[in-house]
């Protein structure tokens, strides 16, 4: 594999953050030359959703990550387009998340739970999180919004359910 160097930035490196919690994963991407010889983002979320930190990967062995988003911050017509716009979803993140058991996920979201169980995460609107009543815990600092590359970097419920929910890393 070869990389086309940027005349201005050389290998043009960037760090990849955890797709789930936004913490650093220590993964490095060498962007090289980008359109317009643009500088690479110093921190970015993996557009292929593969880069997870060790804590999130370990939690996903037994739980599904719920990532809270504010649907009011999504662009108009977002749901009508029928496709996942990762950049818009990341911009709508609130910084809160938790991990729930597969069983609880199936009880809460029976129609869409299979997708979450398969992928080990789901984006959920904050109004749904509030309605369900999942424990929020102590608020942490708002995460810095990472850049989300739009192209491949290498190429250019109730008290009885409280034990099923665990605050996620960074939550």
| Residues 84-134 pLDDT 10s | 577 778 778 888 899 999 999 999 988 889 999 999 999 999 999 999 888
Segments in the chain below pLDDT 50: 82, 139-163, 167, 169-171
Give pTM, 2 decimals.
Answer: 0.69
Torsion over CA of 86, 57, 118 and 154, rounded to 10 degrees?
Answer: 40
Query: How much is the pLDDT for 44?
Result: 84
| Angle at CA of residue 34, ends 28 and 38, nearest 5° | 95
Q: What is the pLDDT of residue 21?
A: 87
Confidence at residue 153, expressed as pLDDT on a 0 to 100 scale: 40
Residue 104's pLDDT is what? Answer: 93
Percent of the chain with pLDDT over 90: 35
């Amino acid at each position: 594999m070869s990389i086309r160097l940027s005349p201005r930035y050389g290998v043009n490196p960037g760090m990849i953050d955890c797709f789930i919690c936004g913490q650093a994963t220590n993964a490095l991407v060498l962007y090289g030359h980008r359109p317009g010889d643009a500088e690479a983002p110093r921190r970015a979320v993996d557009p292929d959703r593969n880069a997870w930190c060790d804590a999130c990967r370990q939690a996903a062995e037994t739980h599904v990550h719920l990532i809270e988003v504010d649907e009011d911050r999504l662009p108009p017509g977002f749901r009508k387009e029928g496709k996942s716009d990762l950049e818009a979803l990341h911009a709508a993140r609130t910084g809160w998340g938790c991990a729930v058991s597969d069983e609880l996920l199936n009880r809460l979201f029976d129609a869409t739970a299979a997708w979450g169980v398969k992928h080990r995460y789901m984006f959920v609107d904050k109004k749904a999180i509030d309605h369900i009543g999942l424990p929020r815990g102590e608020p942490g600092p708002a995460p810095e919004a990472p850049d989300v590359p739009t192209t491949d970097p290498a190429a250019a419920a109730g008290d009885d359910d409280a034990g099923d929910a665990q605050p996620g890393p960074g939550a």
